[in-house]
Structure 1
Amino acid sequence: MNWVVFGAQWLHILLGILWFGNSLVIAAIVIPAINRLPILTQREIGALLGERATRVFDVVVPAVIVLGFVRGTFLGPIKDLDGVFGTAYGITWFVALIAAIVTFLWGKIAINGAVRTMNLSPLNPDGTATAELEAATDRVKLVAVLELVGFLVIFTCMILMRFGL
């Protein structure tokens, strides 16, 4: 057994589970649970989650992407551009790589931007939520759930690559 390949694969999968699992938990558990809370509490929770997630995933996601690149090339079957664009595995690997980068950028730009807008949305003079804050909070929930589209592509590619496709 090649322990370097094993270690790279193990870490790639573990960190990928953390990234994908976070998105699933946010969409399936956190958002439905906090929907029952007052909008100001939702904003507070969303801000705290966003702050923590940004710190964690700014390290985790680049590591997942780099390990996937290394696992497919230096430690895998792709040795040149023909290996990328001339084989089913290479094409699937390339689609997964692009999907991972786009999904990461979606989080950095769309999700973080929506959280920032939500945090800057004003309150009414009596301290209640404005329509602007409610719309911004709904936008955070929407863009967070839409991130799952990227994971659908990535996850499908991972399964296909396991079978050499």
Structure 2
Amino acid sequence: MSHRLLFDDRFADLVESGAKTQTIRRLHDELPRPGDRLQLCRAHSAPVLFTILNAVCTSVQPLRIYKDRPTWTAVELDGEYLILTHIRDLALADGFARTMDFLRYFERKGLPFEGVLIKWAARPEHPHTPPPMRECCTCKHEGKSIKDWPCRTSMNAVGLMCWEPKEAHNGTART
């Protein structure tokens, strides 16, 4: 199944850079499950959405944020009460600079907050997309067609690599 998640500019840049690989969302009927495809989009006022990244959902965990005492906001992840250092780690991973920014964000949305923590891993556009081409480690192929290269090459997991040089760069044959 495929799901679309929208991010405002503040978080979209972090998603695009790979610094943010999770999001917190309110509970609703159509939540992703691990293995589902995610289309991560930049939310604009324009009618067309811009896809930042295609990803695969790796986990969905229940999350609850609530006032434990008048001066303390508590966070539970998967039913476990988080201590302050774990709340800080959660806040930083979710794109907040400080723990207090994270807690105030959810306090403004209204507490108690019942939701989920969704994590993802980026996925290539197509599973059979070849890796980026690399320059041959022995020869210089700049601007030449492959048949004019001064070596014999083969494609492996890292790209095009020499396996038998035809001649050395100084014109002498190699063995």
**TM-score w.r.t. length of structure 2:** 0.21
Higher gyration radius (CA): 2
**TM-score w.r.t. length of structure 1:** 0.22
- Which structure has the highest strand share of the two? 2
- Which structure has the highest helix share of the two? 1
